[in-house]
Chains A and B, each alone.
Chain A
Amino acid sequence: MATMVPAAPAWVRERREAAAKHFAEVGFPTTRLEDWRFTNVSPIAEANWPLAQGGFAAAAALVASVTVPGAVRLAIVNGQFAAGLSDLGTLPKGLRIASLRDGARDATDGIETHLGKVFSIASHPFAALNTSFLDDGVAIMVTKGAIVETPIHIVIVTGGDQPVTAHPRVLIVAAEHSQVRVAQTFVGTPGAAYFNNAVAEVVVGESARVELYTDQRESDQAFHLANIQAHVAAKGVFESHAFSTGARIMRHDIGIGLKGEGADCTMNGVYLADGERLMDTHTSLDHAMPHCTSHEVYKGILAGKSKAVFNGRIIVQLDAQKTDAKQTNRALLLSDEATINSNPQLEIFADDVKCTHGAAVGQLDEEALFYLQARGLTRAEARDMLLHAFAGEVMAGLKIPALREQIESNFFARLRRGYGGQAAIAPQVEG
């Protein structure tokens, strides 16, 4: 695994070394750890994954397959920023973008301050591993008061002819009163085995607003580990919307710290687990300050012999009075062999708070299927319609129309493949 990483500033080397030292001590997590009880990563730990060296020819076509018209495009290929596959156009005012490597070297404001500071490597072994290879990726900096209308689309491509590992890294810093929409799409060489270990850190300044959309459509043989970690300052708003259809093993660790009064966040996701896929989502919400609100909806559709894990942790600190936190987790099992472990985990230390959570696991409603059929829809159409409706609540959060279209069509195409059905109906479009 040891490979020479290009020379970097001293602070980068220090952070790498600290993370490497930590990871060397703890190693890959095992199922003996509570946080990893249902997700066995030994197929990752036991294989040899050479660190990817540069890009590969087919990367351009993969980038093209997920192009979002009208967006600023930033491509990361096998962990490295790929200027040739990116399209910055004319950057909107108030937006600064740098490859992480250049930005770190040129001492671009904010990178040294925030990179690796939004999460603790002690709690996230894979983020520690990523940090130990800290080298490249993208930094998106939004200056004070800038309202960036143009969406920013980060395309993270992994794969090639050989099994590789990559550690892509994203840093988003939105200064006070700024706004930005960012999407990250994970795509890989179809059928290829690789280990993609991504980290995105988001810093939402006072009264700033950041939306982050994550489309995980990795190769069916890929191992996809991703951390999304955000800090939200007073009156700031952060939204994370995750859509997952790919990878052999997926693990998402999404952590949001509400660090200032009146901060608000949304943490939604919908995933489709089919075949023998394992999809694990661990979310963590830290209500550290008073008067913060959080909204969390996670939905899963499980087919085949798939497995899913959902662990939703909400911590309400002693000082976080008047917290309003709502968590919902629902899963639909389309086969008898699919299984889910769902675990809400509320740790409340303040006394004047409103915290609700609900978890439901079930099957498609037979009476609803019959009702739709009795009006003329085939059983496949009826099932599609119910599944669209189930996922629709989360899809509706996609506020970039071209991205929504892309994510929905991929999701529902994979859904039909997942239960071997035929194309039935087009997605429901509101209004």
Chain B
Amino acid sequence: MAYTTFNRQMNDQMKEPMFYGNPVNVSRYDQQKHMIFEKLIEKQLSFFWRPEEIDVSKDRIDYQNLPEHEKHIFISNLKYQTLLDSVQGRSPNVAFLPIVSLPELETWIETWAFSETIHSRSYTHIVRNITSEPHKVFDDIMLNEKILERAEDVTRYYDHLIDGINLYQRCGEGTHTINGKEYSITLRELKRRLYLCMMSVNVLEAIRFYVSFACSFAFAERELMEGNAKIIRLIARDEALHLTGTQHILNIMAAGEDDPEMAIIAKECEEDAYAIFRKAAEQEKDWAEYLFKDGSMIGLNKDILCQYVEYITNSRMQAIGLKAIFSTTQNPIPWINTWLVSDNVQVAPQETEISSYLVGQIDNEVDGSDFGDFDL
């Protein structure tokens, strides 16, 4: 029951479920129950980048010349993204690591969360560059009502799960009296909390980031804040991979492949899943309204952005087997796709995007014919 950092019990890791089996002991990758997580790790590692590699110095001049309402759009998005990545840089570790049972999944979670910390550092890199008072930007995150409103929904499912895990790992299933107050927990309830949490993370990666992405790219289409757009592009590439990760986890859960009870829970939680998607979409539309409260920007306005939210919400829902909830079927800002293409992403000109560029550089094969024109 209690968590241990190196489980002494000899277990066959190939027979463990993704979560709530034995804690992981040996981090081994010679055998894998779900190969996909190893592939995601490799891909994520090949995506590695550092914020300092991207020159954002021109953005300072661009930012100073932006009209006030566009400054508001730009800086508010940065604040919101800072919140999202603050949460994502730690929460997968805190929530999922104590309950994960497969080494490849454990390492994927760590790799995933680590890449979010790079995103957080990149926001400081951007903010430091465009203003001489970066503290004002960051301090405001904790005071800005519009952001805090979203923080509540982003973190609620994580906190609920973590709270349940703490109780379960300390006291086990049942009703317990702690400091005079009664608490009860069952493994089934914990599985439910995990499923809902994963769904909410999936929605975070799938929808919540994209309003900000759209604005960043809309600036860059006008050749403004291009350093920022380069960074956002790298972030978007990472987020697409994280999203694929949570979609896989959710689909494995729903199929009941390694824990049949999880499939039943996924069915039971279907209504909740719809509700989580619907609420996130509504909140993001409200966010679009807040962004454009003092005026739109060229190429984007509240209505277009709301349609985009509906469009991606639909497609993200279909990816995990849910039905679309909005009537929008067309992408209202098709130009955004060009910004999301992987091989247009370039950190430094000498680097290529081929993740396997070090493999096969040396030809190790030698046979008799290689010595054909060799004389002594």
Q: Do A and B bind each other?
A: no
Q: Which residues of B are interface residues toward A (Cβ below 8 A)?
A: none
Q: Which residues of A are interface residues toward B (Cβ below 8 A)?
A: none
